[in-house]
Amino acid sequence: MEKILTDLVQNVKENIPGYIAISVAEIASGESLASDSADSNFDPALACAYNVEIINAKRKAIDVLGLKENINDIHFKLDNHIHVVDMSPSGEYFIYLAVDSNRANLALTRTMLKKYKTELNEVL
């Protein structure tokens, strides 16, 4: 699995426009399994720990509403960033990706991430 994570990080880093940071984390613990950042001041592992709270809050909302749905991804458009939280099919792990919104767009970022996460999804 380590090679799959390393390959995912490398492919995203080299091929997604505006790349800032990536991390793959467990939802149960918020612990990052792999992470990388092009900005030394941006800690994607720390961001994952906080994004677990968002995922859990959304799951509670889905449950309270009585929806029979799963979260596929969550995305946030900030002033200068796009943040994508992409769930594994099992719902136990997620990929957190941050890109520069001046150099990237959401559709391309999501499409490229989907392309590079295929092998990881088979394992997770």
Residue-by-residue pLDDT tens, the chain, 124 positions: 788 899 999 999 999 999 999 999 999 998 999 999 999 999 999 999 999 999 999 999 999 999 999 999 999 999 999 999 999 988 899 999 999 999 999 999 999 999 898 888 877 7
pLDDT at 90: 87
pLDDT at 49: 92
pLDDT at 121: 80
- Please answer whether residues 43 and 117 qualify as being in contact, where contact means their C-beta atoms are separated by less than 8 angstroms: no
Helices (H), 30-104: 44-64
Separation of alpha carbons 62 and 24, rounded Å: 23
pLDDT at 78: 95
CA distances from 60 to 54, 55, 66, 86, 92 (A): 10, 9, 10, 18, 15
pLDDT at 1: 78
